Amino acid sequence: MSSFLRQDPTQHGVDGVLLPSQPDDHYPKPEKASTCASSTPYDGPLPPLPPPVEKPSSSATSIVWSKRDETNDGKRKKRGLPPGVVCYYATIFTTELGIMFLKPRELVDTLFLQTEKGLVDTLDERPVVAFIHEGSSARSVGVELGHVLLKVNCNDVKNPEEANRLIKEGPRSLRLLFYVPERGMGGRTISPDVASSCVGGGSGRMMAEVGSRRSNLMSIAQIEAPHNHDELQFMMVAISTNMTDLSKCTKCGSIAFRDDTLTSLMINWVQCPQCLFKSCVECGEEYHPDKRCNQVESKNEIDGRIQVEEAMTSALVRTCPLKVVNAGKRAASAVLKNGTVVDVEPLLKDPPPVCR
């Protein structure tokens, strides 16, 4: 009995029955893993590791610009589009794009004010970016005003309603194909990654681009005539470059910049380079150092100002500048006797219109 218990436990079955002993080569042994490496050590460089795969975040955006070549021109002609700079894909992962589309004919008074009529007619009813929210996902990938949407996830779009529906119902990520047309810039090509403003004419044409240096924008605003500006585009360029010291003259309509020294000294006025009119930065009216912009006139001040304006208006009927000035001064003196202070200088410089 004791000899039975001392047997090798591997020779016993499940029920404790003694199994006959077998040679070692009776049971198959597991094969060793084969290797193709030689015994000689390898001293060469190690292969590079593959880059880690990162999952895009919910706000990740990307953009791919396609080069302008004959292939792109052929695709453009096939779609019936006007001459353009480039077509590009923008991939957006967010829920909201922050843009609004309108038809080209609805923008002839604003964005396409100086655009040739043939270009607007060729675009038909394709969705054009008419408004874009600052800091939106579409703005971060380079979408700008005036870009035309062609496809949403490989689906052609022909009007803004269809574009809004596909964007709202489409899965994320959205793959949008945009087209940048040439907007009548006199043969000049707009770079795809900038929004441009064209002023002047002929060979002396000047361009203001998003990201341009401050000196370029200032030279355009101060040298060129005010009526040569594409004002909407120029203001868009200035706002996109965070130029908060830009203002428009309320007297002649030209664009003016504050001096750097005045900005550092916290001086709240700017002088127009064309008519030398000094205006307030806050309200745009004539500079008023002793009066706040939000200061409300009292009833006595309103009555005194009206009295001066009426006196000067009645004097204008006589069409004599000297009588107009004298009438204004007499009315101002009468108002001052009542203890009401009225600023008469602006009225004397710019008298009210003649009442016929």
Q: What would the pLDDT profile of 144-202 be if each residue is shown by its tens digit?
A: 888 889 999 988 998 999 998 998 888 888 889 888 876 543 333 333 333 333 333 33
CATH of the domain at 95: 2.30.42.10
| Average pLDDT over every residue of 231-258 | 61
What DSSP designation does 103 have? -
- Decide if pLDDT at 125 tops 80: yes
Q: Indicate if 278 and 323 belong to the same structural domain.
A: no
Judge contact between 284 and 297, C-beta under 8 A: no
Q: Indicate if 106 and 199 belong to the same structural domain.
A: no
pLDDT tens for 6-42 read: 444 444 444 444 444 455 555 555 454 444 444 455 5
- Decide if pLDDT at 304 tops 70: yes
- Reported as a pLDDT band with limits 50, 70 and 90, residue 286 is confident
Sign of CA dihedral 6, 10, 12, 14: positive
| Average pLDDT over every residue of 90-103 | 85
pLDDT tens for 190-210 read: 333 333 333 333 323 333 334
Judge contact between 278 and 256, C-beta under 8 A: no
Contacts of 160 by beta carbon, 8 Å cutoff, 6+ apart: 101, 102, 103, 125, 127
Mean pLDDT of the chain: 62
Rounded percentage of the chain residues whose pLDDT exceeds 90: 3
Judge contact between 200 and 206, C-beta under 8 A: yes
Judge contact between 66 and 88, C-beta under 8 A: yes
Q: Indicate if 128 and 66 belong to the same structural domain.
A: yes
Question: What is the pLDDT, as a whole number, of residue 49?
Answer: 58
Question: What is the pLDDT, as a whole number, of residue 162?
Answer: 92
| Average pLDDT over every residue of 71-96 | 65
Question: What is the pLDDT, as a whole number, of residue 188?
Answer: 32
- Answer yes or no: is 279 within a domain: yes
Q: Indicate if 261 and 316 belong to the same structural domain.
A: no
Q: Indicate if 198 and 95 belong to the same structural domain.
A: no
- Reported as a pLDDT band with limits 50, 70 and 90, residue 240 is low
Q: How buried is 195 (Cβ within 10 angstroms: 0-12 exposed, 13-18 middle, 19+ buried)? A: buried
- Decide if pLDDT at 52 tops 80: no
Question: What is the pLDDT, as a whole number, of residue 256?
Answer: 61
Interatomic CA distance for residues 213 and 129, integer angstroms:
26
- Decide if pLDDT at 83 tops 60: no
Q: Which domain holds residue 277?
A: 246-287
Sign of CA dihedral 52, 55, 60, 65: positive
- Answer yes or no: is 165 within a domain: yes
Q: Indicate if 305 and 330 belong to the same structural domain.
A: yes
- Decide if pLDDT at 59 tops 60: no
- Answer yes or no: is 213 within a domain: yes
Which residue, 266, 269, 79, is CA-closest to 156? Answer: 79
Q: Indicate if 220 and 232 belong to the same structural domain.
A: yes
CA angle 301/305/308 to nearest 5° reads 140
User: For 23, how many CA atoms within 13 A lie in the half-sphere containing its CB?
Assistant: 2
| Average pLDDT over every residue of 324-334 | 73
Question: What is the pLDDT, as a whole number, of residue 343?
Answer: 65
- Answer yes or no: is 325 within a domain: yes
Q: Indicate if 126 and 173 belong to the same structural domain.
A: yes
Question: 32-36, 123-127, 245-249 — which is least confidently predicted?
Answer: 32-36
Question: What is the pLDDT, as a whole number, of residue 10?
Answer: 47
Q: Indicate if 146 and 234 belong to the same structural domain.
A: no
Contacts of 306 by beta carbon, 8 Å cutoff, 6+ apart: none
Element (H, E) at 317: none
First to last CA, the chain: 141
